[in-house]
Amino acid sequence: MVDLLWILLKIILYLLLALVVYIGYIGFYIPIKARRKYSQFKNVHVSQKFIPLLGDAGPYLEDTNNNRAHYDHKRRIEHQMGPDIDLKLEQLGTTPMLLVISHKALKELLSQIPTKIDRFNFDKHKAKRSGFLKTAAGCFVNSPSTKRILERRKNLAKMLSLRSVSKHLPIIIKCAEFLLSKMKKQKEVNITEEITLCTNRILVSILFGQDFDKKGEDSYEYVQADGTITYLDICSYFSKFALEMAEESTNPLTLFFPIMNITNVVNPWKRNHKNGQSLYRAVKHIIANSQDEDSMWSKISKVSDFTDQEILPDLMILLLAGSETTADNFTSVLYYLKKYPDVKAKLMKELEENDITPGCNALEKITVENIQECDYLSNVVKESLRIDPPLLFSLSYEAYADTEICGVPIEKGTVLLQTIIDSNTNHSDWLEPNVFEPERHNPESEFYNESKKKEKIQNVYSRRTFGHGPRSCPGMILATLELKIFTAYFITQMEYDVAEEDLSNDHIGFGIGGKFNPKFKIY
């Protein structure tokens, strides 16, 4: 008995020792080695705020604790890097990442896709596959650009072109009407949550069939955090699940012990895994019962030679990638229009000139043609996407061979990301980057000319909200159209108030991973 206890104690001691060695390795050795390596290069920014174990998470946590958007430090001038910086080393979790900062570095990165640099192989490195990417295992997003992966991507991108998505305009308006009638009955509206339900509804209709909930009573089993089971309709299911997966992927244990992503033996990983499987069953049930021949599922499975094991995760990832991103940004649009009444007034005037008047019959009056006529509307949407992008970085890229960017050697296996927020709000390309000013996108405006005079000249690489290159966001056209239609619809069909504490906070932001959960009053 004593022997057995002694053996057990030894095993525990060895395990503890292994844990200490592992933490020392990932929390100290790896980051310090990377920092020493890249500090030699003048054009690589290596943050001075690094803390062993926490990596570069400190400024994000400091912002969150001070009631600012989690990325607010990147917008502040004291954190801006000089014009000579091409790359930035940042570590959030176990892997040091090189952020591609300058236009030159971005161009060099893009020129090497897919020969030397390509999408990180998440399906191979399963432990690094968290959140949505884990749920949609086997989807095209998780793999580098092989011929087959590019064919699958191209096929989907075709269905997300302007011509194709314009046909879905009535779906978008009907879903917006459904949401508005629901919100008007509520005293206080959790706006991002409600819009996410709406963007989910749009995507489920487009992807799997408009008749997905014919009787309005289909519900699916969902395991909640306390272990109890609840039954949710498919849109609520997706919203809740997506939120929990986003939390799971930023959970410090996921970041430091990526093995959690594959074992799924303890909660919340175990529960999320189970709910993920139920989600697939729910979607298969919808597909089996849909008569909608125009759904993306129907079209792809009829005309292409892709297998169901390819199509289903590919559509699943569209749903997961396209709901919260669009909803977060529409929260920004509504927020900024309330904060700047003169912008809203100018927008209302433009909409009225295009026959979209308060209380009008939206299905009749909001058309793709007259939406395209509204330049100021387009600039309002562009500006909210610039100043408050839903994602701070692109998805991960990997160097598949030794290479270099802007003279900096990049070893095979290095993880690279296109930075978004650093570029969208930098002081070299943008005049007053933290001011919400739609006119900065209008080449005929005074603000644009003023920017030009001060040599703040934006170009396509200054705007990175949807990424760049062959693996940039294929949902950009749909998302932008949704945002324009939502804006035109909601501001002409409702009045709303935003809590004063949120309105007066000049450091707010609604991107994914943020803490703000604004409450609106709708009437």
Indicate the annotated binding residues for heme.
473
The least distance separating ligand HEM from the CB of residue 192, rounded to whole angstroms, comes to 13
Q: Is 475 in the site for ligand HEM (CB under 6 A)?
A: yes
Nearest CB to ligand HEM, comparing residues 106 and 362? 106
Q: Is 403 in the site for ligand HEM (CB under 6 A)?
A: no
The least distance separating ligand HEM from the CB of residue 195, rounded to whole angstroms, comes to 11
What residue numbers does the annotated binding site cover? 473
Which member of 58, 59, 114, 467 binds ligand HEM (CB under 6 A)?
Answer: 467
C-beta separation of 219 from 231 below 8 A: yes
Compute the 3-state secondary structure of the chain and give helix, strand, coil in percent, each to the nearest 5: 55, 10, 35
Which member of 198, 334, 395, 498 binds ligand HEM (CB under 6 A)?
Answer: 395
Which member of 430, 466, 490, 510 binds ligand HEM (CB under 6 A)?
Answer: 466
Residues 44, 239: Cα–Cα separation, whole Å: 39
Lay out the site mask for ligand HEM across 233-272 (x = CB under 6 A, - = otherwise): ----------------------------------------
Judged by CB under 6 A, which stretch of 97-105, 350-358, 368-376, 461-469 contacts ligand HEM?
461-469
Paired tokens of 379: 């600039």
Tell me whether strands 96-100 and 408-410 are parallel, antiparallel or unpaired: unpaired
Q: Is 131 in the site for ligand HEM (CB under 6 A)?
A: no
Lay out the site mask for ligand HEM across 487-506 (x = CB under 6 A, - = otherwise): --------------------
**CB nearest ligand HEM: which residue?**
475
C-beta separation of 69 from 25 below 8 A: no
491 secondary structure, DSSP code: H
* 3-class DSSP string for 173-226: HHHHHHHHHHHHCCCCEEHHHHHHHHHHHHHHHHHHCCCCCCCCCCCEEEECCC
What is the number of other CB atoms lying within 10 angstroms of the CB of residue 234? 22
User: Rounded to whole angstroms, what are the CA distances from 32 to 67, 348, 412?
Assistant: 30, 54, 19
Site for ligand HEM in 408-437 (CB under 6 A): 418, 420
Nearest CB to ligand HEM, comparing residues 294 and 353? 294
**DSSP reduced 3-state for 140:** helix
Judged by CB under 6 A, which stretch of 121-129, 167-175, 301-309, 317-325 contacts ligand HEM?
317-325
Residues 371, 481: Cα–Cα separation, whole Å: 9
The least distance separating ligand HEM from the CB of residue 315, rounded to whole angstroms, comes to 9
Nearest alpha-carbon partner for 275 in 320, 308, 215: 320
Q: Is 382 in the site for ligand HEM (CB under 6 A)?
A: no
Which member of 332, 465, 487, 492 binds ligand HEM (CB under 6 A)?
Answer: 465
In angstroms, the first-to-last Cα distance of the chain is 73
The least distance separating ligand HEM from the CB of residue 317, rounded to whole angstroms, comes to 5
Residues contacting ligand HEM: total by CB under 6 A: 27
User: Rounded to whole angstroms, what are the CA distances from 357 to 342, 365, 491?
Assistant: 17, 9, 10
> Which residues are CB-contacts of 438 (< 8 A; sequence separation ≥ 6)?
343, 376, 379, 380, 382, 383
Nearest CB to ligand HEM, comparing residues 456 and 471? 471
Nearest CB to ligand HEM, comparing residues 260 and 391? 391
Judged by CB under 6 A, which stretch of 41-49, 79-87, 125-133, 470-478 contacts ligand HEM?
470-478
Which member of 326, 384, 423, 426 binds ligand HEM (CB under 6 A)?
Answer: 326
Strand-pair partners of 405: 408
What does the binding site for ligand HEM look like in residue numbers (CB under 6 A)? 119, 141, 153, 317-318, 321-322, 325-326, 329, 389-391, 394-395, 418, 420, 465-467, 471-475, 478-479
